[in-house]
């Protein structure tokens, strides 16, 4: 084997396993909200959905929801996998950081310089589980810490002790620190946006309330975002938005946000979705909404934007999702 050929092989392996940068998009006009395009990839024999999720800066629930019929651990050689890389922006001011816990995704709107095209950068995140639900608030970024030290709260130490995994009072920086290498402080005591030493959990409800990112994503955000940035944490399982003259609907499974906090609407509840679609079509009342398709998208909860117009073609990368959400005769009666 020549050295040149060996070098090409090594480069291909490195590129195959190197995570891609977070998705950065030009900010659409104020009356539009859809960014990105879904894609497809074909697996190698050693791939898992977790591997692909990290490589394409997706969360586990995102890629799992877009590929319900694919074995997440053993997809097999040559399996076609949808990469859900199209998003509807949350219904919130397009400034600072917006975190939508329902889709477990963070949107960062960096300030554009004069003459520059405004952009939005988006990252998958993990959020709080059970009684440690991530709070829905508007706050500020108050500090940035490289190689943070973790001081586990007493409640977390009690949980670990009960599981036979006692924690020290102080966890120094290093590979055992669950905060990872970077942390962003919020004007909200005890809550951080930080990295992780367990990247396989990104895109799931697994934290004690903090917002957790892939190591490469938190590094990128840490370097880009200034102290004082506004941070809005919202819960929007249903999002409707325009892309040109096409209306899209994106539905996520509603979350249970813990005792004493916001409760999810009932599964498959059409009322908030109808309100979203009606609000989106104000001034375009003649838009041909396919309400059977709306119902199917709500039932499917695939977390991927799908056109809800009658008789409109669907992007190739979203065909399998749309087919899974297509109502049969029994559903339309």
| Residues that are catalytic | 194, 210
In sequence order, which residues have a C-beta less than 8 Å from that of residue 329 and are 6 or more positions away? none
Report d(CA 135, CA 32) in Å as an integer: 28
What is the widest separation between alpha-carbon atoms in the chain? 66
Nearest-10 Cα torsion for 295, 301, 303, 305 = -10
In sequence order, which residues have a C-beta less than 8 Å from that of residue 193 and are 6 or more positions away? 97, 106, 141, 183, 184, 186, 210, 211, 213, 218, 221, 231
């Amino acid at each position: 084997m020549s050295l040149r050929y060996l070098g090409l092989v090594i480069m291909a392996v490195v590129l195959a396993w190197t995570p891609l940068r977070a998705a950065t998009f030009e900010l659409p006009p104020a009356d539009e909200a859809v960014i990105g395009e879904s894609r497809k990839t074909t697996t190698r024999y050693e791939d898992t959905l977790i591997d692909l999720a990290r490589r394409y800066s997706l969360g586990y629930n995102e890629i799992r929801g877009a590929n319900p019929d694919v074995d997440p651990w053993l997809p097999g050689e040559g399996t076609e996998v949808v990469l859900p890389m199209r998003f509807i922006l949350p219904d919130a001011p397009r400034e600072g950081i917006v975190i939508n816990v329902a889709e477990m995704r963070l949107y960062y709107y960096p300030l554009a310089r004069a003459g520059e095209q405004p952009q939005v950068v988006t990252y998958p995140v993990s959020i709080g589980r059970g009684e440690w639900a991530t709070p829905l608030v508007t706050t500020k970024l108050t500090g940035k810490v490289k190689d943070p030290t973790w001081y586990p709260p007493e409640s977390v130490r009690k949980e670990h002790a009960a599981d036979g995994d006692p924690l020290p009072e102080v966890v120094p920086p290093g590979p055992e620190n669950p905060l990872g290498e970077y942390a962003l402080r919020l004007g909200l005591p005890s809550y951080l946006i930080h990295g992780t030493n367990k990247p396989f959990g990104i895109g799931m409800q697994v934290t004690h309330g903090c917002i957790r990112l892939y190591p490469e994503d938190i590094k990128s955000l840490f370097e880009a975002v200034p102290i004082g940035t506004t941070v809005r944490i919202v819960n929007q399982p249903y999002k409707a938005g325009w892309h040109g003259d096409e209306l899209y609907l994106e539905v996520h499974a509603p979350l249970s946000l813990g005792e004493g906090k916001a409760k999810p609407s009932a599964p498959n509840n059409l009322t908030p979705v109808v309100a979203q679609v009606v609000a989106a079509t104000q001034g375009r009342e003649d838009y041909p909404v396919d309400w059977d398709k709306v119902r199917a998208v709500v039932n499917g909860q695939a977390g991927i934007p799908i056109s809800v117009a009658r008789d409109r073609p669907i992007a190739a990368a979203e065909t399998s999702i749309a087919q899974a959400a297509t109502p049969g005769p029994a559903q339309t009666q």
